[in-house]
Chain A
Amino acid sequence: MKKRGIGLGSIFFSIGYGFSRPDFCAATVEISPNGSVIGRSGEVDYGQGSDTIFCQIVAEVLGVRPDTIKLITADTLVTPDAGPTSASRLTYVMGNAVLKASQTLKKTLQSVAEGILGEKDLLFVDEEVYSETHPEKHISFKVLAKECHNRELPMVETGWHEITTEDVDPETGQGNAYATYAYATQLAEVEVDTETGKVEVLRIVAATDVGKAINPSNVEAQIEGGIVMGLGYALTEEIKLDRGYIQTKSLGDYMIPTSMDIPYIETHIIEIPVSTGPYGAKGVGEPALIPTAPAILNAIANALDVRVTDLPANLENLHRLIREKGD
């Protein structure tokens, strides 16, 4: 028999390391005499899109195209320390460092442009700098960059941002351990074959508070990717040990979901800006995946009236629980 159920998973989750552990990022932004922009940071874009965020923030501040910015990242010889790429922290911490470096550079550019154009209400848009009230007064970003170099002004700036928090009270464990928190809720709809223990996830609806989606399609993909990880965690992925020796020796045995296992996913990006984040943004990496397994397990409980307490809820484990319930 096939039974259906729906379940909810809700989380709040910390961004960064918290508990007074060192948590900082450095980034540099450089403008060449020809107006090209180079960014450097120890951050690692392993697919989550932090390079894109880096470029977008620089572009937003300096009014240049994000795809023209050259990035040098994750090279300890030439890039400043950004700490580990973990804890859903890069947008929140590195993003601020990049913002600061870009804003410092913009101040230099602004003062030179003010002198040349004789106006103070300057906008940096589309590789041009112009007066908002007298738009006929303008200078190209490229020419302005050269002018700054001619005046021997610093055209490389370092932004440094730290979010290290106070530790909690060692006696009571009370306190605010982290710099900020993300919130997420997911709804799962499943169909369980009660005779085989096979779970088919039919639909996941995800609502994730990211503060501000600096790149909405990037955030959407992060949420979808997180859900796929959460789905494998809930249903199939398992590392088997035998007296301490790992028996799951390849991806042939460690079952991650394939494209044929991924349900319909509906994502809702919730934007409640956090004052300490760049443009109000905070992390999305882990918050995207954590609600999925509880939502699926609650949906299974809703369908079968059995409670899975050991992951994964694979064929054998779920079938055993159904047998033990016995009806």
Chain B
Amino acid sequence: MQHFEFYTARHIEDALTFLSEKGERCKVIAGGTDLIPALRKEDIHPDFVLNVLELRSLNGITELNHSIRIGSTVTFTEMVESDILSHFFPSLVQAAASVGSPQIRNRGTIGGNIANASPAADVLPAILALDGELELESKKLGTRRLPLSEAIVAPYRAQFRQDEILTGIFIKKLESGTRSAFTKLGRRNAMARARMNLSVILRLNNEEVVEELKIVPGAVMPVAKRMERAEKMLIGKKPETSVVEATATAIVEEIVERTGVRWSTEYKVPVMKSLSKRILGELLT
């Protein structure tokens, strides 16, 4: 059994002060579906645990002029049930719906999923494909924005300052006609870590030429990342079968470049290629 002081902050200033004073001896809890198991396994030994669930500015999903703000303590269930997200970012809703089980979706939060930065996190590829930006607050720097792609560069290591709290996620509204999709492959239909997942954003222009494309595979590399080389193979072109095939090949080539050949490669390469073709095919019809 671990001993630590559990502190529930009532105001954001209160939370920021607490965190700046305690520094690395403090862990932030925003649902606990990752933190509590880590505490029980004694992987971490914090002296303080800061609860941010009561902070009003971290709650809720808000539509702004050009973007949507998702509070960092919004649960996966709230994301699944959100009309705003279903309308603007269906792929993000699909990703949230694929997390764990109803109990985990009721407890777990988008902010916690990002801050924990697991290579198999389900919402990370979806947010990366949507070019999401993080809103971070600290006593010292105030509020700053950081693209998610820059915030996570190594597994389980979000690039936040010790005194920073992730308060929200901003995602720009997509141009009209943009399609998005998310798919996950697990060993069972619930309570399954992603064997692999994949999120894609795609827009065709009036001439049926691919104008915008973002492809993010997850759970196959130490850090989920956009496959820009593969994207370029299809952008500016008509999505003919041979081009889609070449794009899918480029995706798995880049994955192998990043991870090297491992025991799982002989499975992951053909399957990720199939999933890529399948998801691109769905978005193109």
Residues of chain A whose beta carbon lies under 8 Å from any beta carbon of chain B: 195-198, 236, 252, 255, 257-261, 314-316, 319-320, 323
Contacts and interface: CB of A to CB of B under 8 A. Distances in A.
A195 B266 CA distance: 13
B274 A258 contact: no
8 contacts: A195-B274, A196-B275, A197-B271, A236-B187, A257-B188, A258-B191, A261-B190, A314-B187
B188 A236 contact: yes
Interface in B76-110: 101
Interface of B: 101, 185, 187-193, 195, 264, 266-267, 270-271, 274-275, 278
A41 B171 CA distance: 65
Contacts of A261: 188-190
Given A258-B101, A260-B189, A319-B270, 7 more contacts: A195-B274, A197-B267, A255-B188, A255-B192, A258-B188, A258-B189, A314-B187
Contacts of B274: 195-196
B271 A260 contact: no
A197 B192 CA distance: 16
Contact of A258 (B190, B264, B275): B190
Contact of B270 (A255, A257, A314, A323): A323
Contact of A196 (B185, B189, B192): B185
Contact of A315 (B187, B190, B275): B187
A260 B188 contact: yes
B185 A316 contact: no
B187 A255 contact: yes
A94 to B, nearest CB: 36
Nearest to B271: A196
A316 B190 contact: no
Given A195-B271, A196-B275, A259 B187 contact: no
A181 to B, nearest CB: 34
Contacts, number: 45
Nearest to B266: A320
B122 to A, nearest CB: 15
Contacts of B101: 258
B195 A315 contact: yes
B190 A259 contact: yes
B104 to A, nearest CB: 12
B190 A319 contact: no
A109 B36 CA distance: 61
A252 B120 CA distance: 14
Contacts of A314: 187
A252 B189 CA distance: 14
A2 to B, nearest CB: 11
Contacts of A198: 185
Contact of B271 (A236, A255, A319): A319
Given A196-B275, A258-B101, A315 B189 contact: no
Contacts of B264: 316
Contacts of A236: 187-188
A197 B274 CA distance: 11
Contacts of B192: 255
Nearest to B263: A316
Contacts of A315: 185, 187, 195, 267, 271
A323 B274 CA distance: 13
A262 to B, nearest CB: 9
A117 to B, nearest CB: 60
Closest 7 CB pairs of A and B: A195-B274, A260-B189, A260-B190, A258-B190, A316-B267, A261-B188, A261-B189
A258 B266 CA distance: 28
Nearest to B191: A258
A310 to B, nearest CB: 15
Contacts of A316: 264, 267
A259 B191 CA distance: 10
Contacts of B278: 195
A197 B189 CA distance: 14
Contacts of A260: 188-190
Among B188, B267, B274, residue most surrounded by chain A Cβ atoms (within 10 Å)? B188
